[in-house]
Structure 1
Amino acid sequence: MYVLTGVTKRYTRGKAIVNALDGVDLTIGDGDRLVIQGPTGGGKSTLLQMLGGLDKPTTGSVELDGVDLAKLSESRLTTVRSQNIGFVFQSFNLIPTLTAQENVETALVPLGVKTKERRERAAEALESVGLGERLGHLPGEMSGGQQQRVAIARALVKQPKVLLADEPTGNLDESMRDEIMDVLDRMWKEHGLTFIVVTHDSSIARKAPRLATIRKGKITVKENAPS
């Protein structure tokens, strides 16, 4: 479970101080599916970075299972991210010179998983997202949707507790958007993940059980009736 209390994040732009997050209080239960929406620059990605331990708040606490991520050393944060948190980004972030299977295996290297097991788990993860026949393909040999499936497999192969997705369909057309969200929703249900997604897409937001809206660093959360 996440518990955020009084989280602020301030940046300095020239002589101006910008409050990307301004006193955010938020609880996200185990297994929740939360969509975060809001205008550009409103604090969505900043909040996701806090949840992923990629950034620390100026003030306040970000607790994951009772551990305040804001107080951890960088080495300890790296361990928490490696073991517990999977990330999916808009730009896929695949290594172009590695095959699909090798890209997925990279998530297991920090965990000390042996080569044979890495290969087996990577192949299984790719099979689960419908890419069992694409193990040896390079990113440049795959469509955008296929590359995002590889990124999803990479995020899930380490069996994380939390899946964070930042505009995961932002580079995809409408039909591929629906396909990728179907994959993500299926993974959420099958793995019992806590799934948090940032999106500009209102059609995705309408289907979320919970919707958080951020404007000028302030957050409001409502329960949705899924369509």
Structure 2
Amino acid sequence: MYQLRGVTKQYRRDKATVDALVDVDLTIGDGDRLVIQGPTGGGKSTLLQMLGGLDRPTSGSIELDGVDLAKLPEARLTTFRAESIGFVFQSFNLIPTLNAQENVETALVPLRLKAAERRERAAQALESVGLGERLGHLPSEMSGGQQQRVAIARALVKNPKVLLADEPTGNLDESMRDEIMDVLETLWKEHGLTFVMVTHDSSIARRAPRIATIRKGRITLTENSKAV
């Protein structure tokens, strides 16, 4: 479970101080699915980065299962992130010279698994997102939707507790958007993940049981009884 208390994040811009997040309190339970919305520059991606240990707050605490990510030494934070948190981004961030299976294997390298186990787990992860027959294909040989599936497989191959997604359908057309969301929602249920996603797309947000709206660094939570 995530427990955020008094999380504030400030940046320096020229001579001014910008508040990206202001005194945020938030609880995200195990297996929860939360969508984060709000205007550009309102703090959405900043919050997601904090949840993923990619950035640290100026003040406040961010606990995941009792571990304060804000206070972990960098080496321990890197290991914790590699073991517990999967990331999916708008830009697929695939390595163009590696095939699908090799791209997925990269997430397992920090875990120091043997090569044979990495290959097997990567193949299984790709099978789970419908790409079992595309293991040897390069990113340039796949559609945008297929590349995002590879990115999802890479995020989930290490069996994380948490999946964080930043505009995962932002580069996809409407039909592919719905397809990717179906994949993400199915995997969320099957793996019992804690799933937090940033999106500008209101049609996607309406599918989630909880919506966090951030404006000027402050958060408002809404329960969605009509979630899919």
Q: Distance in 2 between matches of 1:216 and 1:174?
A: 29
Structure 1 counterpart of 2:115, which letter?
T
1:56 deviation in Å? 0.2
Aligned to 1:195: 195
Q: Deviations over 1:25-59 (max 9, x none)?
A: 00000000000000000000000000000000000
Matches within 5 A, 1:106-125: 106-125=106-125
Structure 1 counterpart of 2:22, which letter?
D
> Is 1:130 paired with 2:130?
yes
Q: Deviations over 1:169-209 (max 9, x none)?
A: 00000000000000000000000000000000000111100
1:76 deviation in Å? 0.6
Question: Where does structure 1 differ by over 3 angstroms across 4 or more consecutive aligned residues?
Answer: none
Gaps of 5+ in 1: none
Secondary structure of 1:196 counterpart: strand
Aligned to 1:97: 97
Secondary structure of 2:208 counterpart: coil
Structure 2 counterpart of 1:151, which letter?
A
1:222 deviation in Å? 1.2
Aligned residues: 227
Gaps of 5+ in 2: none
Q: Deviations over 1:151-178 (max 9, x none)?
A: 0000000000000000000000000000
Secondary structure of 1:94 counterpart: coil
Q: Distance in 1 between matches of 2:67 and 2:158?
A: 20
Aligned to 2:29: 29
> Is 1:178 paired with 2:166?
no
Q: Distance in 2 between matches of 1:13 and 1:121?
A: 44
TM-score normalised by L of structure 1 = 0.99
**CA RMSD, 1 decimal:** 0.5
1:16 deviation in Å? 1.2
1:92 deviation in Å? 0.6
Q: Distance in 1 between matches of 2:92 and 2:74?
A: 24
TM-score normalised by L of structure 2 = 0.99
Q: Distance in 2 between matches of 1:86 and 1:216?
A: 27
Q: Distance in 1 between matches of 2:162 and 2:207?
A: 19
Structure 2 counterpart of 1:153, which letter?
A
Secondary structure of 2:8 counterpart: strand
Secondary structure of 1:93 counterpart: coil
Q: Distance in 1 between matches of 2:56 and 2:217?
A: 15
Structure 2 counterpart of 1:139, which letter?
P
Matches within 5 A, 1:40-55: 40-55=40-55
Q: Distance in 2 between matches of 1:20 and 1:172?
A: 28
Q: Distance in 1 between matches of 2:115 and 2:122?
A: 10
Q: Distance in 2 between matches of 1:133 and 1:56?
A: 40
How many percent identity over aligned positions?
83
Q: Distance in 2 between matches of 1:99 and 1:194?
A: 28
Structure 2 counterpart of 1:58, which letter?
T
Structure 2 counterpart of 1:200, which letter?
H
Matches within 5 A, 1:206-217: 206-217=206-217
Structure 1 counterpart of 2:155, which letter?
A
Structure 1 counterpart of 2:215, which letter?
R
1:15 deviation in Å? 1.4
